[in-house]
Structure 1
């Protein structure tokens, strides 16, 4: 009787994007590309949108377009993670019965675990990733406690995989990049959409071990966008006397516009943010706010420098500095 090979896939359920891979190769989406935005939206039609269609609704319907749920998956209501999330995002939120966080949408109450499960389920559909009799390995930040690891596992399990195993992100990185190498140590610098993580991995034996780690749960691409948005809001207030930061929904639209400008600046030296498209109530004098690549570089310099300090601490933990 032939031996049945165990099928396994790897999932990166990210703050900003999510991807699934098999045999070290990412599975492609039916729409092209390999990464799907970690977004879920609930439009008035009653449908549930996942990925890019959901992300497109951020500017028009921010309270019903859930982004960055990984930041609070498994987190307690009174934790610093949740406090900052409530300050940064325009959702209607409350404490759940298990002491976590839940979000009120037009489709009803949804938890970060349910958001994660919807994202993974949508990703599997769009990549035609099989789930029956397939085992999943999902990555989680090394700083996640057991409650948050369990919540991540539960989110992936909602896609009906045969089993789910949680692996620390630096370990997964080391396995992916060093499977053909023989290095004794690996330093992982992971500046993602929502968090920054750094770790030293001992690769001298198997299983690999994290021997030093650190990070910042609110230092990532989302925070770069927010920094740019605060700068643009200050300029608009000083130039035109119009405050874009005193309304959560308007400010979230501004953050979205600044993210698009940031992406444009990766290829151009200058971009423009149209204030009337962010806030239709703004006076005509607001017009356009130009922003350059050099301005963004200066605005984010302190954020980037702070990662270097964390790296020094991690190296010291591992006795490698």
Structure 2
């Protein structure tokens, strides 16, 4: 069986389609449908993943990793008990936990999955997720963009529709504009940010509460990890409460002990105050939506369907965004925490042939290209190109007696260039200057991941292209599972 996995920044969810073609979320060993994407190293050999790890986030920060999804695909390292871990290795521990409880629930050894990623993820980030899953024996049969998964969970509409998916998760904000018709899901454009999510609102609320308490009492709680743990738990609950009520009390008794006796937090948080505190984040979200619509040259009244996804999409200000789209049917009845995993499970069943398949046409979120001799970015595959696709560019040598051509490959992400590595083609002969005619093909596979091949068009010689100086060195790095007991 192929399962669907929503590998989230704050929580991860697993789902599957049963024999009655019903989509079900798999509960973990604690009976919860959500598993916090948090890893706590108890010692050098034991790690906790999930709720027990989350409880240690602020108490033992040097031994706990959260929001690893934001770092996956980067050269960031975590040093724990004098050992360094890469983000994909930490991610693999989360995948191991998901695999274990899913296998126990289904009574089989889970080996294949459709795994979701933000549509805005670049090549390094996509590779990182694949590698994290592979490290624990999960074959990623399909990387599915999260907004596409959310749309799939709602089924295929009968009429042609222009659909806007707004996916605000714990750590990322994904926007996808797509057209659906006759079993075709065609992505028109994507937008969003991999650095904006519900946890950023928690940070602002926690900062507000710490500042208010210091103003009222003169006591600074910002250096007290136990107090901060309580504050983050309280503001997260308050944020959730405000999805249903206009105001809520944030009460934390005995938060500090002074010469005057115990001190308590008792503050009223209203929706109006929440929106005021988080004004910059709210404006950024609105701006990103407008940018995405503008890129597709569509106006809000051309949107026929609006899909809300991600737990943070419950926030009242976010739901008010629907007012911008007067002709849109609102889709929010499926639990937004689970809708992405459920869509992944639907895609898994389609791959298995158990559900009638639809055609998915996803697009490249960031242009791929190379550096020329003058260090200028030369676009090879343009942003917005439907994948899978192949593009070929000719290269030559710049010196006499040269038998290797080196090409630096990058992905353009907003104002910056993300290095994907250097690709090397080695010939059996030495060329004169500008003699070589090397056709380098850039292929985007079904997962939106880059693969590279090269051919000397004069000789027909084909060489395996080797990548160096990259985050992963995928072509020559062996995978070694971590020797850790996961609880």
TM-score, normalised via structure 1 length: 0.78
- The 5 A counterparts of 1:277-292 are 277=255, 284=261, 286-292=263-269
Task: Check whether the contact 1:236–1:242 (CA below 8 A) recurs between aligned residues.
Answer: yes
Deviation of the 1:260 alpha carbon:
4.0
- C-alpha change, 1:17 and 1:293, in structure 2 (3 Å) is same
Partner of 2:293: 315
Partner of 1:122: 97
Deviation of the 1:36 alpha carbon:
0.8
- C-alpha change, 1:283 and 1:265, in structure 2 (3 Å) is farther
| Corresponding residue SS for 1:292 | strand
Question: Aligned pair 1:17/2:16, yes or no?
Answer: no
Partner of 2:483: none
Higher radius of gyration, 1 or 2: 2
Deviation of the 1:157 alpha carbon:
1.7
Task: Check whether the contact 2:99–2:110 (CA below 8 A) recurs between aligned residues.
Answer: no
Correspondent of 1:104 among 79, 82, 89: 79
Partner of 1:169: 146
Inter-partner Cα distance in structure 2 for 1:181 and 1:191: 27
| Corresponding residue SS for 1:215 | strand
Partner of 1:33: 32
Deviations 1:246-284 (A, max 9, x none): x4957853434432443455567433353854x678985
Deviation of the 1:313 alpha carbon:
1.5
Partner of 1:300: 278
Task: Check whether the contact 2:2–2:110 (CA below 8 A) recurs between aligned residues.
Answer: no
Inter-partner Cα distance in structure 1 for 2:266 and 2:120: 39
Inter-partner Cα distance in structure 2 for 1:272 and 1:133: 42
Deviation of the 1:311 alpha carbon:
1.4
How many residues end up aligned between the 2 structures? 289
Correspondent of 2:2 among 8, 16, 24: 8
Q: Which runs of 5+ in 2 are unaligned?
A: 18-22, 300-487
Give the structure with the higher percent helix. 1
- The 5 A counterparts of 1:1-321 are 7-23=1-17, 24-44=23-43, 46-75=45-74, 100-106=75-81, 108-127=83-102, 128=104, 129=106, 132=109, 134-179=111-156, 181-204=158-181, 208-245=185-222, 247=223, 249=225, 253=229, 254-263=231-240, 269-274=247-252, 277=255, 284=261, 286-294=263-271, 295-321=273-299
Inter-partner Cα distance in structure 2 for 1:181 and 1:251: 53
Deviation of the 1:51 alpha carbon:
0.7
| Corresponding residue SS for 2:93 | helix
Give the structure with the higher percent strand. 2
TM-score, normalised via structure 2 length: 0.53
Deviation of the 1:137 alpha carbon:
1.1
Which deviates further from its counterpart, 253-262 or 59-68? Answer: 253-262
Q: Cα RMSD between the aligned structures?
A: 2.9
Q: Which runs of 5+ in 1 are unaligned?
A: 1-6, 76-99
